[in-house]
Amino acid sequence: MYFLLLSSLLLLASVQVNANALDLSAMDKTAQSFSNIKTIQIAYKGELVWSKAYNKADINAVTNIKSASKSLMSAIVGIAIERGVVDGVDQSVASLLSDQLPANPDPRLSDITIGHLLSMQAGLERTSGRYYGRWVASDNWVQAVLSRPFVDDVGGDMQYSTGNTHLLSAIIMYQTGENTYQLANKWLQGSGIRIQSWEIDPQGIPMGGNQVGMTPASLLAFGELYRRGGVTAKGRRLLSEKWIAESWEPKTQSRFHRGLYGYGWFIQNFEGVQGYYGWGYGGQMIYVFPELDLTVAITSDEFLPSGKTGYRDSLHEMVGQDIIPAIQSVM
C-alpha cells in the first residue's frame, strides 16, 4: 500500500514538473498575431497548462462553437446507442422520421442510415454554405432536409450539411420525448461539459450541428472526455471506447480542404502526430491528440470566416509547429 501511494505521488510530481517546464511562448507569440482569436486552453495529462484570452476577450464567456457542435452531436448519438435509444449506425433514418417524409418520397431516403448522417454521406443536397439561409428560413427544418434532392448516391462523396446533424437531434428528441439540449446536459453531467444555449427550430428541436453556446473550459472538457477514452476525470464512463474508435475512423473526405472525416470529427496528421478535431465557423476548434495526452480548445470571432481566409490552416500550423513540439520536449 505504501509503495502504491509513493508511486502515485511520484507520478503526480512528475506531471507537475513537466507542466511547469512547458515553454509555450512561441505559441503565445503566434496567437498574438491573430486579430480574431479569442481564447486558448490547453490540457496536458489531464492538467490545465494554458488558459489565456486574447484581443480583450473574456476567458469565461459563452462562445457559439458553431459546427464544432457536430462533434458534440456525434457524442450524443453514441450515448443514445449505448442507452438503447436508437439501435445503431445502420438504423434507417426514414423509419425513425416516417411522419416527416415528403409526399411520394424518393425511395433512396430509405437507404440513409444514422451512420450516413454522421459521416455526411446521405447524398442529399447540402443545407450548409450558400444553401443555409434558405433552409433556416423554412417552416420545418426536418422536412426541408428530407425534401432535398439527391446530388450523389447514399454512401457516396461527402456532402457537408448541418441538416444531417439536425436530423440526428430530431431523432434523439422524438425517441426520448426529451429536449436534446436538456438531455445532453443530463447525459454528460459530471464531465465538466455544460451546454449553456442551443438554438431551436420552429418545432422546438435544438439545432443539431450549429448554434451551441459553451464556455472555452467546457469545450476543453469535451475534448478531454474523448482524450480519456470516454470516462470522466473521476473515472465514470459516459461514452464507450468503441464509439470513439468508430468516430475517429475515416469514412470520407472533404472536397473543400481534403480533410478526412469520421463521425463528426476531422482526422489529420500534425507534424507526425495523429490528431482529431472539431471545427466550427470562425475558428472554433477542439483538438485531441491521445498519444500526447494533449487537448487544445480554441475560440475565435464567430462572425469571421476561417476556411477560405486561411485562418483555420494557420491555427493548424500553430498547433503543429508551436504546441506539439513544446509538449514533446517535456515528455
The pTM of this model reads 0.93
CB 66 within 8 A of CB 284: yes
Q: What is the pLDDT of residue 255?
A: 84
Q: Which of 66, 98, 63 is nearest to 170 (CA)?
A: 98
Q: What is the pLDDT of residue 73?
A: 98
**Cell 477560405 found at:** 308
Query: Distances from the Cα of 191 to the Cαs of 73, 93, 178, 196, 320, in angstroms?
Result: 16, 30, 20, 15, 27
Alpha carbons 57 and 49: distance in angstroms, whole number: 19
Question: Tens digits of per-residue pLDDT, 2-57?
Answer: 433 443 443 333 344 465 789 999 999 999 999 999 999 999 999 999 999 999 99
R_g of the chain, CA atoms, integer Å: 20
The helix or strand, by DSSP H or E, that contains position 72, with its residue range, turns out to be: helix 69-82
Q: pLDDT below 70 — which residues of the chain?
A: 1-19
Alpha carbons 26 and 322: distance in angstroms, whole number: 6
Alpha carbons 285 and 133: distance in angstroms, whole number: 23
Alpha carbons 279 and 74: distance in angstroms, whole number: 13
Alpha carbons 305 and 301: distance in angstroms, whole number: 9
Q: What is the pLDDT of residue 285?
A: 98
Q: Which of 278, 318, 320 is nearest to 40 (CA)?
A: 318
What DSSP string runs through 83-104? TTSS--TTSBHHHHSGGGSPSS
Residue type, 85: V
Question: Tens digits of per-residue pLDDT, 214-227?
Answer: 999 999 999 999 99
3-state secondary structure of 251: coil
The helix or strand, by DSSP H or E, that contains position 31, with its residue range, turns out to be: helix 25-32
Q: What is the pLDDT of residue 4?
A: 39
- Report all structural domains of the chain as residue ranges with CATH numbers, in order of start: 24-328 (3.40.710.10)
Query: Which grid cell sits at 97?
Result: 422520421
Q: What are phi and psi of 285, to 5 degrees?
A: -125, 140
Query: Distances from the Cα of 19 to the Cαs of 11, 45, 53, 186, 293, in angstroms?
Result: 12, 9, 20, 32, 12
CB environment 275-290: b (16+ within 10 A), e (fewer): bbbbbbbbbbbbbbbb
Q: What is the pLDDT of residue 18?
A: 60
